[in-house]
Amino acid sequence: MTTVLYGKEDLVSFDSARALRLKLLDGPLHLAWRHSALTSDFIAETMALSFRSSERHYKTIRHDIGYLTNELIENSIKFRVAGDIVIETLVDAHEFKMRIVNLIDEEAADKFQQLLTKVTAGDPGDLLIEQIEASVLTGGNVSGLGLLTLMSDYQAHMAWRFDQDHSYKRTRVQTYATMAISSA
């Protein structure tokens, strides 16, 4: 087994003992896009509950967490191979933290790692502008816009851990994200 890390390595230590843990089961209901929206809404609502004393602050936190979780859950559903998706989230001090674990095939792992090499190489704001321009030139078929938006506009810090099992031709991907939550 080969392990490869991208992004902020310190994020890979995740305290799952205190986390809300959800598992999207791969079964007769077939995981689909609608599961992403439902799951991210549930997570955002649950994580934002303790901020209800200020309606404006609560709505901002709920929106930001919802956007981040929806983007990452969509990616895990879109690029997965058969298998469950595990989502863990928590609010720690003034941060929202998240880990998603899913399986992808070797081809998707190679493409994703090539994208992450580019996405993690420079300033997210500059890279986002480059990707938007590339998207316009190619008719909208450019990867990485969602991740770059999270990193640039939401100041999310990201990490990815790939555990490649060549004998089964699949890779276990762990996506980590943290995002600051300001106090009211």
pLDDT, tens digit, for every residue of 13-66?
A: 888 888 999 998 776 656 666 778 889 999 999 999 888 888 888 899 999 999
Tokens of 61: 């936190």
Helices (H), 29-54: 33-48
Q: What is the pTM of this model?
A: 0.88
Domain carrying residue 141: 2-180
- Angle of CA points 148, 132, 182, to nearest 5°: 35
Tokens of 5: 């890390």
Q: For the chain, what is the domain count? A: 1
Tokens of 121: 């190489």
Whose CA is closest to 16, among 106, 105, 90?
90
pLDDT of residue 29: 57
Residue type at position 181: I
- Angle of CA points 164, 166, 167, to nearest 5°: 130
Tokens of 111: 């493409």
Average pLDDT for the chain: 84
